[in-house]
Chains A and B, each alone.
Chain A
Amino acid sequence: MRFQEWSVDDLTECLRGDGLRWRSGPFIIHAIADAPGLVEPMRRLYAYHEILTTPYRDVADFHLELARGQWLRRWFRPTIHFLPTGRASGSPMAPFPLDHALPLLEWGQNWCIASRANHYLMLHAGVVAKKGKALLLPGTPGSGKSTLAAALSLSGWQLLSDEFALLHPYSGRLHPLARPVALKNESIQAVRDFSNKAVIGPEFPKTRKGTVAHLRPPKESVDLVDRVIDPVCVVRPVFKAAAPTTVQPLPKDNGFLILARNAFNFEMQGKRGFRAVERVIGKCDSFEMVFGQLDEAVAALEEIFASSVKKDCGSPLR
């Protein structure tokens, strides 16, 4: 059963008791949480995610707990703490205000994936796909990759991730991780303006990244969780307010640097990470896109991608 088929009361009881298990891309997440205000938006944003019951009751890749602050912090400016199990030294993150449990849950999952999913080469990139081919959007925070991934997912593209590109180092394919898209500050309104189909959760002001809200991933993207996809195109987005959209092809050596620098675990992967980046850049076109308007950027990406797919399909080296 999916989240949307469970009642808020049942989800709350489960989260406070043995916890909930659900699939998030290739991972099974197990979460226990005691946080008022978490369940309702979680139910809306994870509406299409499958809740795992028997026979998955004792299986999970990541176990995490959101626990309320103790003693004085239970009543005075109450806090919520992220506690991944299996970690001896307690929480790796500072506590959040109690009413910020949802961003904490999302960042907590990011922490789990970034620190433990080292069987993938993890790229700091948005990933979307169409026609069985993927477009990588590597970039630093603020470059616009999440906003673009959100807008493209609302335009019929499959959302693989807005934050983590999970590249299998041997196959060179990308694994979907369709989770709620974290939108920040001005991008929240930009995505609302872009599409009236956008289902966006509550806004959380004054987080470490400003105001944050989450976009629900499309049902089709959540359902395609097992479909791994070949990348065909790499575009580094550069957001500049009010700038006209310009696209520039990048030489392959620049493309290599962009991917390697945006990999969370490039050094840890060693030789296989090096070869994985070489492989992706070897077969993908690389571009840099400066943009200031979301609709213009989406149109430009459609054009770049169509040209790359056409080139890829015509290549005798496939």
Chain B
Amino acid sequence: MQSTQNNHSNIDGDLDPGGVSSEADVLTDRWSVASPHLLHWTTLEDAHFLFDERSGTTHILNDISRLIMERLIERPDSVMHLTHDLFGPFPLDLSQNKRVDDGKPSLGLYEALSRVRLLMSHLDQLGLVHPVGMYPTPSSSEQAATSP
């Protein structure tokens, strides 16, 4: 897919990630879609067109970006969870028994994580998603429950 005009952008997985914050934050932070009611979609053949009413910008999204956006419109989620949910059933993941003994992710999952993280950073740069903080940890939940 190509784009030559400023007001049309192209989301694809093979672009420079640009200004991503720390890897840990990006993977574990939850992300949400900003003002989903101001986003308008159409799918023509293989391309998903997204018009953002706030900026007057039309974006062209691939299938994975569209899936991510749809998931984040349903509820905020992290890159880690999204990757697991989106790529879980695919052959190149943990279910392929490629997990190494030291507990590091398999090559397939690592690639998937990188791709989703890259896409998330693009969506962030375009102002379509924004971080809404980490999942509450058990310790923080306990603290909240016991605090006066």
Contacts and interface: CB of A to CB of B under 8 A. Distances in A.
A282 B57 CA distance: 20
A316 interface: no
Given A268-B56, A270-B56, A274-B40, A252 B8 contact: no
A270 B49 contact: no
A16 to B, nearest CB: 43
B12 to A, nearest CB: 13
Nearest to A262: B5
Interface in A94-148: none
Contacts of A270: 51, 53, 56
B44 A267 contact: no
Contact of B7 (A251, A255, A267, A275): A267
B60 interface: yes
Contacts of A267: 7, 56-57
Contacts of A261: 4-5, 8
A274 B46 contact: no
B51 to A, nearest CB: 4
Contacts of B4: 261
A277 B58 CA distance: 12
B139 interface: no
B49 to A, nearest CB: 6
A271 interface: yes
A20 interface: no
Contacts of B57: 267
Given A260-B8, A261-B4, A253 B44 contact: yes
Interface residues of B, number: 20
Interface in A267-285: 267-268, 270-271, 274-275, 278, 281-282
A278 B53 contact: no
B132 interface: no
Q: Which bucket holds chain A's interface residue count?
A: 10 to 19
A251 B58 contact: no
B45 A251 contact: yes
Contact of A253 (B7, B40, B45, B56): B45
B1 interface: yes
A256 B44 contact: yes
A74 to B, nearest CB: 43
Given A260-B8, A267-B57, A253 B51 contact: no
Contacts of A257: 2-3, 8, 60
B130 to A, nearest CB: 22
Contacts of B1: 253
From B3, B45, B53, name the one whose CB has the most chain A CB atoms within 10 angstroms. B45
A62 B57 CA distance: 30
Interface string B24-50: 000000000000000010101111010
A271 B53 contact: yes
Contacts of A255: 44
A278 B56 contact: no
A278 B7 contact: no
A260 B8 CA distance: 9
A252 B40 contact: no
Given A260-B8, A274-B42, A253 B47 contact: yes
A281 B1 CA distance: 17
Given A252-B44, A253-B45, 13 more contacts: A251-B45, A251-B46, A252-B45, A255-B44, A256-B44, A257-B2, A257-B60, A267-B56, A270-B51, A271-B40, A274-B58, A278-B44, A281-B44
A92 B7 CA distance: 25
A266 interface: yes
A261 B10 CA distance: 14
Contacts of A251: 44-46
A261 B51 CA distance: 14
Interface string A232-261: 000000000000000000011101110011
Nearest to A261: B5
Nearest to A252: B44
Nearest to A269: B56
Contacts of B51: 270-271, 274
Given A267-B56, A281-B44, A253 B49 contact: yes
